[in-house]
Amino acid sequence: MDNKDIDKTFSNLLVLTVGSCTCCTKTPVTKFHDAACPYRIAKEAADTIESLQAEVKELREQNARYRKALEELRPLLFGISIPFVDDHDGNPLNKALRILNKQAIGDSHD
């Protein structure tokens, strides 16, 4: 279900609230309506969707902040050059460290 479907469901629930009260309560405050009142059921469902949408928005914003922070930290975490005494001595450990370092900073050429 994508955002369009959720928005449409939310709109449909709000439409259902208009004139749907069967318990003759004369207030839009849901807690005063009967638990089985269609107005209360539709309004509470719409309120739940609205609350979940706000939470999803906040999580997406938080995720974007974390991604930005990670991108800012990436050079510090992975861009540190590993010094080699002799790059061409055939030492497998030096070669492995050089490859890992290049992969970490996004350079896959060796």
Please say if the pLDDT value at position 84 is more than 50. no
Question: Which 3-state string (H, E, C) describes the chain?
Answer: CCHHHHHHHHHHHHHHHCCCCCCCCCCCCHHHCCCCCHHHHHHHHHHHHHHHHHHHHHHHHHHHHHHHHHHHHHHHHHCCCCCCCCCCCCCHHHHHHHHHHHHHCCCCCC
pLDDT at 90: 61
Contact indicator for 82, 97 with CB cutoff of 8 Å: yes
Among residues 100, 106, 29, which one has the least CA distance to residue 75? 106
- Dmax (CA) of the chain: 88
Q: pLDDT of 9-66, one tens digit each?
A: 888 888 888 889 999 998 989 999 999 999 999 999 989 998 998 998 999 899 888 8
pLDDT-derived band at 87, boundaries 50, 70, 90: low
C-alpha distances out from residue 74 to 9, 80, 83, 102, Å: 41, 10, 19, 13
Whole-model pTM over 0.85: no
pLDDT at 110: 45
Please say if the pLDDT value at position 107 is more than 80. no
